[in-house]
Amino acid sequence: MTRSALPRVLHFVTGGFTGGATQVAVKLVTAAGERGDAEALLVVRRKRHTDSRRIDELRARGLPIAEVPGWSHIATVLALVRLCRQFRPDVLIAHGFSEHLWGRYAGLLAGVPHLVHVEHNTRERYTRWRLAQARWLADRTARIVGCSEGVRLRLLELGFPPERVMAIDNGINLAPFATEGTRPIAERDPAILMVARFARQKDHATLLRAVALLRERGRRPPVYLAGGGRDNHKRAVETLARQLGIDDQVHCLGVVRDIPQRLGNTRIAVLSTLYEGMPLALIEGMAAGCAVVGSRVPGVQEIIDHGVNGLLAEPRDAASLAAALEELLHDDALAAKLGAEARRQAFAHYDLARMAEEYSAMVAQIMR
């Protein structure tokens, strides 16, 4: 069989399906198929909570996808080595921590010509030993990509080689928001929607405490929490809502598939996170024309210009978040102005096609 002249690109990522890294990898493999500029394969590392239905859905859509075991790092690496020898990628792109370690080890063992490390957060669980491994691998890696400028700067702080470090901002599929973001703010449900997996990083607790402060001031907006994640974190959120006396306002939706429609009918999109890379959920809120509120942390600060396209609140500060939410609930004109500018900037800067083009250009450059 004649090998295609197109570059062969393998994207390796966690199989959790609740984080941004997996979403970005899926979108890049999908875009490669649609654009016809690469033969791409998505390889996911199976976790205990990996939803097989998501993998089946992607296969049904025609997405090239394979799995490797995640019960041990050695098993992951050896299975990925076998896949690399079968697929013979020109470039292996390893997304996220700690997959970028195991993916690149497999790529080296399989003789993949070019390795790429993509960092999706400004704060990862680097121990001394894992950071030493990442630095050793960096000398054998063609590019180290941060999913935002904040992540790029963090990579430099960690001591990765500046000549190989770059930023490619995340992007989203804007098509579903072409009509969903057109409803005027004043006509939307005066509610708060947070789209985020249930995890310590996302800090749902500060949002709930802010909502409790609003209740003391006579404001009782409905609060919708959409996302998967770990059951113990979700139970902790539900328990805290009861303890704060706001459980009649708070609705845990789980994983939902109509996020553009929900955002398009909601006044405020919030992300009370402790750290981020570049949050896709917040960009979606912007594209839907919501009044957006995020934590003043790297990754979020790159996309929210306080008072221009949204509001920033101090992380872990319920009073700061409550003040921002109350301002947007009270002031129709401000909420409308911020929402309109957020939508304009989302469509101008955060298109999936732009992200895919930048990854494609990077692949072409390192293969010269």
**Residue 3 included in any domain:** no
- How would you classify the pairing of strands 223-226 and 165-167? unpaired
CA pair distance 211, 346, nearest whole angstrom: 27
CA pair distance 228, 197, nearest whole angstrom: 5
CATH number of the domain where residue 77 is located: 3.40.50.2000
**For the purposes of burial, counting CB atoms within 10 Å of the CB of 129, is it exposed (0-12), middle (13-18) or buried (19 or more)?**
exposed
Are residue 226 and residue 293 in the same domain, yes or no?
yes
pLDDT exceeds 90 at position 20 = no
Are residue 40 and residue 141 in the same domain, yes or no?
yes
- Give the tens place of pLDDT for each residue, 50-106: 778 889 999 999 999 999 999 999 999 999 999 999 999 999 999 999 999 999 999
The predicted pLDDT at position 306 comes to 98
Are residue 305 and residue 361 in the same domain, yes or no?
no
Backbone angles phi, psi at 89, to 5 degrees: -70, 150
Are residue 143 and residue 211 in the same domain, yes or no?
no
Are residue 199 and residue 273 in the same domain, yes or no?
yes
- Give the tens place of pLDDT for each residue, 195-228: 999 999 999 999 999 999 999 999 999 999 999 8
The predicted pLDDT at position 51 comes to 79
**Residue 191 included in any domain:** yes
The arithmetic mean of pLDDT across residues 338-363, rounded, is: 97
In which residue are the tokens 């009861």 written? 242
Are residue 19 and residue 104 in the same domain, yes or no?
yes
pLDDT exceeds 90 at position 34 = yes
How many domains, in total, are found in the chain? 2
Q: Higher-confidence residue: 122 or 51?
A: 122
The arithmetic mean of pLDDT across residues 143-154, rounded, is: 96
The predicted pLDDT at position 4 comes to 67
Are residue 148 and residue 188 in the same domain, yes or no?
no
Are residue 335 and residue 318 in the same domain, yes or no?
yes
The predicted pLDDT at position 49 comes to 77
Are residue 362 and residue 337 in the same domain, yes or no?
no
CA pair distance 89, 110, nearest whole angstrom: 10
Greatest Cα-to-Cα distance within the chain, rounded to the nearest angstrom: 71
Are residue 156 and residue 181 in the same domain, yes or no?
no
CA pair distance 158, 231, nearest whole angstrom: 33
Whole-model pTM: value is 0.91
CA pair distance 38, 44, nearest whole angstrom: 19
Q: Which domain holds residue 216?
A: 177-349
The predicted pLDDT at position 3 comes to 58
Q: pLDDT > 90: what percent of the chain?
A: 92
Helix (H, G, I), strand (E, B) or coil at 65: strand
The arithmetic mean of pLDDT across residues 3-25, rounded, is: 88
Are residue 41 and residue 182 in the same domain, yes or no?
no
The predicted pLDDT at position 1 comes to 40
**Residue 2 included in any domain:** no
Please give the mean pLDDT across all residues of the chain.
Answer: 95
In this structure, are residues 107 and 77 in contact, taking their beta carbons and an 8 Å threshold?
A: no
Are residue 97 and residue 181 in the same domain, yes or no?
no
Residue closest to 280 by CA, chosen among 257, 264, 303, 297: 303
The arithmetic mean of pLDDT across residues 261-282, rounded, is: 96
Which residues lie closer than 8 Å to 147 by C-beta, 6 or more apart? 20, 24, 118, 119, 120, 167, 168, 169, 170, 277, 278
